[in-house]
Structure 1
Amino acid sequence: MDESTTEKIIDWATVMNVCGYESLVETIIKSGLKDARQALKLLAKAIKAANSADVALYAHRLKGVGMTMGATGLSEKAYRLECAGDEKDIETAASLLGDVEDEFEKVTTFLSESDWIEAARQQQENRQTEQLETK
């Protein structure tokens, strides 16, 4: 995987803040993927049923799972969906669901790569170097 051209899908610093130890990362990620899949299914059902309270609930769950996994893009998109649920705006929620599903697909694709940990770590190092160079 070419980490210099890869979009930041997993924020390594966030993952390490949550996990504390690199040995826990794969366990946390595996659990997070399972939880995210379930939340996405429940979100789709809630939107189909026009149940804004459940939309907000499951989007909030997905947002938290995303942050735990370091999938900041997924978390941010889930937050927008959560807000739509809070505002009882099912139409907006329905339009945002595709974006959330697309982002989840990016996350699962990234995590399916055998070298994803090294790629995420390298992206973090590259960002830190860039920040130092701009100071």
Structure 2
Amino acid sequence: MYKRVLLPTDGSPCSEQALREGFELVKSCGAEATVLYVIENPLLTLPMLPEGIPYEADLYEDLKKAAEEVLASARKIAEEAGVPVNTIMHEGQPVPTIVEFAKDYDLIVMGTHGRGGLEKLILGSVTEGVLHRTETSVLVIHCKRKRA
């Protein structure tokens, strides 16, 4: 069925839920699992400022450290599920990066928060962007949000 499964993650509880369910699928198929974390440097999307940004190197190191922590957590979840996993950290914009990596995979497993309206407009949806741009099959895990 599926031989290679890509599991993009951002470290959110929703992504963690998608990892857990994705690893169960990987285990049942005997597939190869790869977790991808895309480091999106927000300074790359800002207009160029005179004098540059003095804390850019520090910000990048913080983003990289956060990515390493998320990938370590993903490896632990995979180990608990009894699934060997590869992890990749890549810098770029999430949607095009995931779409490019997905060309080498049979399936993408991603979570979605199911946001709508203004919340979706402001935060966007990486999952929706991937769905519209990839030729790889996508399994979307709808994450339940806690209501106040």
Q: Normalized per residue, which structure has more helix? A: 1
Q: Normalized per residue, which structure has more strand? A: 2
Would the TM-score normalized by the shorter structure come out above 0.5?
no
TM-score (norm: length of structure 1): 0.31
